[in-house]
Structure 1
């Protein structure tokens, strides 16, 4: 088996159009993330470079090439999908979806340019808190996320990688849905599975190419994210649940800590059978949104926006 080469990042100072790379700030399975400076405006931006971990490497001229010739077609196909998906994302205008500032082609790959939003990652915040996030906090974060997903679903697009680590918290707990690289256009009805997988958050239909993914797939991931925020543990992976479901319903496991409407919504979203879930983000949003400004819930708030003030982290 061919060993996977370490992915080299672009060197600081590298110029991509008007954007100068300052440093590498993150790595994902399919991309490298950089902080850069827009030399036209003087603003810092975040740039995402398409470079899949298992099949690509960088040559001395900084071009992205397959690790072996066997991966040439895979790399070409993945790059084509990345271009298509970024084009679709650029059409989305929503305050809770990361904006596309520009898209560049260079080094035989693509570069997605986004604003550098200050704040912190929900996944990191959750790790520190060990779960137990309040109902008010969860509604403040997930109602806007569902609204963003509802727009995507109306545009026949799926996110396919919703999880706490892909939700960025700005000032006042205002969420930003990140890492749209897995987004899948539904051009011809229902799409098939076999997409990006995150254990615990991806429903069973996402694991198999014969699986029929749809808006209900994102709904499962939202339910799993809410459940993680509640009990501090990632839910049992869907294939394991299919064999032996050990995930206690939220309305049983957490009945003394959260209101019935929220627990029922989480259990509904986490149904193993896609037909038994809310069929899109709007359906779940309509259940949760009316409770967003409920004064009774305000008394139960354990977190306040001030906890996030003074703390900042780049995407």
Structure 2
């Protein structure tokens, strides 16, 4: 019973977001962007320069826990190691009134999630593959710097005109580091979550497989009374894209690195044979 009460207290009191208009150190909060498992995100402005930024606050209920300030400090270290216009830029990291905050550049645009589910955007097979290749190129940039994103999903990809951006590095890890903050192993997690959270290129490759599926389903029409089937039965795909998906989702031997995937996507877009 106590755990239920504590969750209610955390959700309704301890972890209440700051209200718009609140000033935190040198930043004025304009909007609450959202709240996740570990933090609260705000759109804010620097009171001196007027620069628009994103502010991430560690959830107060997690203060002092492995998933609190230590996790945020790790994200700050990842962002500090990057310098690319498609990724958020680290600006500041500080403690204010015992709360912990990370400041990064504000990336403008709409998420792929919004485009798919609110604006009903549709992608042909070729458009979907083109989009995934562009994201794969960003993932390649990370992998070359020994960073595994571990959260490549449609809410974390922004489109600003033709400009593509990848955000939310809260789960990113450097290769060689442990996959979890509170334990050295993912053994207690279900098998799929172990794969998603592994500090290995396969994690991002698997995520890109699901990303591609979301795009391909954007033009799929469900007929009334139709029973749900597997994606292989529901989607009309070329043999090449079917083969790419099967390897990404590890139904067949997976790609060993992001370069292999990019090569396969490039061959498809050039109209050449993709090896199965």
TM range (shorter): 0.7 to 0.9
The CA distance in 1 between the partners of 2:229 and 2:94, in whole Å, is 44
Q: Out of 145, 148, 151, which is 2:138 matched to?
A: 148
1:158 aligned onto 2:148: yes
The offset of 1:9, in angstroms, is 1.0
* Distance of aligned partners of 1:35 and 1:188 in 2 relative to their CA distance in 1, 3 Å threshold: closer
Aligned length: 252
TM-score (norm 1): 0.68
Q: What TM-score does the superposition give when structure 2 sets the normalisation length?
A: 0.76
Indicate whether 1:263 and 2:242 are aligned: yes
Counterpart in the other structure of 2:23: 15
Determine if contact 2:140/2:259 at 8 Å carries over to the other structure: yes
Corresponding residue for 1:278? 255
Pairs within 5 Å for 1:234-273: 248=230, 250=232, 253-255=234-236, 258-272=237-251
Question: 2:215 corresponds to which residue?
Answer: 229
The offset of 1:164, in angstroms, is 0.9
**Per-residue CA distance 1:259-305 (angstroms, 9 max, x = gap):** 433332122100157xx21122222122224555x59xxxxxxxxxx
Distance verdict in 2 for CA 1:91–1:30, change over 3 Å: same
8 A contact 1:193–1:205 mirrored in 2: no
- Structure 1, unpaired ranges of 5+: 52-63, 67-71, 234-245, 296-315
User: Which structure carries more relative contact order (alpha carbon 8 Å, separation 6+)?
Assistant: 1
Instruction: Please tell me whether residue 110 in structure 1 is matched to residue 96 in structure 2.
Output: no
RMSD of equivalent CA atoms: 3.3
Report if aligned partners of 1:96, 1:144 keep a CA contact under 8 Å in 2: no
Q: Matches of residues 30-69 of structure 1 in structure 2 within 5 Å?
A: 30-51=38-59, 64-65=60-61
Q: How many Å apart are 1:80 and its aligned residue? A: 1.0
Q: Name stretches of at least 5 consecutive residues in structure 2 with no aligned partner.
A: 220-227, 272-276
Shift of 1:216: 0.5
1:177 to 166, 174, 193: 166
Offset at 1:89?
Answer: 2.1
User: Alpha carbons of 1:108 and 1:185: their partners in 2 closer, same or farther (altered >3 Å)?
Assistant: farther
| Contact preservation (8 Å) 1:254, 1:263 | no
SS at match of 2:83: coil
Structure 1 Cα separation of the partners of residues 249 and 264 of structure 2: 15
- Cα 1:65/1:253, change in 2 over 3 Å: closer
Structure-2 residue corresponding to 1:237? none
TM-superposed CA distance for 1:232, in Å, is: 4.5
The Cα of 1:83 is off from its aligned counterpart by 0.4
Q: Deviations over 1:167-224 (max 9, x none)?
A: 111112x2211211011222358886649x9x9xx935337xxx85411011001101
1:28-48 CA deviation, whole Å, 9 max, x = no partner?
221111111122322222212
SS at match of 1:181: coil
